[in-house]
Amino acid sequence: MKKIILNIMATTGISLVALSLVATLYDGSLICIDTIFQVLGLNVVIYIGLYFMDSIEYRYAILETGLKLIYIILLVLISGFLWGWYSNLPGVVLVLMTIAIFIVCTCLDAISLISEVKSINILIEEEQSK
């Protein structure tokens, strides 16, 4: 649970930074407080869905990644429609931003996983040397 909350907060932060960069490119000067809570709420819903998707055993890792990306893009597009994001941001930019954030988060997860594997290997080596 702690890791999910940490991931939600990290993804929300990454999303807001990406949104700020995109808004700057469109000569934006502010992000409304509503948008911050909308992004947080969207990330909570995304991670709830990802939690349930992780309980399914996939035969191919690329299929799992593709399904997760499609799920996230659909949620982002629906949220954009519900909260009126399209009046300020084209849908294509929203999809590209979502893909970029997904790639960053996937890379961060991979780095975290590599770190965990290294620490497990150290523990195994210490146990075997006893």
Backbone angles phi, psi at 79, to 5 degrees: -65, -40
Structure tokens at 40: 């947080």
What local confidence, expressed as pLDDT, does residue 114 receive? Answer: 92
Mean of the pLDDT values across residues 105-125?
A: 90
pLDDT at 14 > cutoff 90: yes
pLDDT score, position 88: 83
DSSP 22-67: HHHHTT-----HHHHHHHHHHHHHHHHHHHHHHTSPPS-HHHHHHH
Residue 1 tokens, joined: 């649970």
The three-state secondary structure class of 45 is helix
Mean pLDDT of 115-126: 90
Query: What's residue 48's pLDDT?
Result: 95
CA 4/CA 24 separation, integer angstroms:
30
Q: Give percent of the chain with pLDDT exceeding 90.
A: 67
Residue 125 parent element (H or E): helix 91-129
Q: What confidence tens digit (pLDDT) does each residue in 38-85 have? A: 999 999 999 999 999 989 888 898 999 999 999 999 999 999 999 999
Please, what is the average pLDDT of the chain? 92
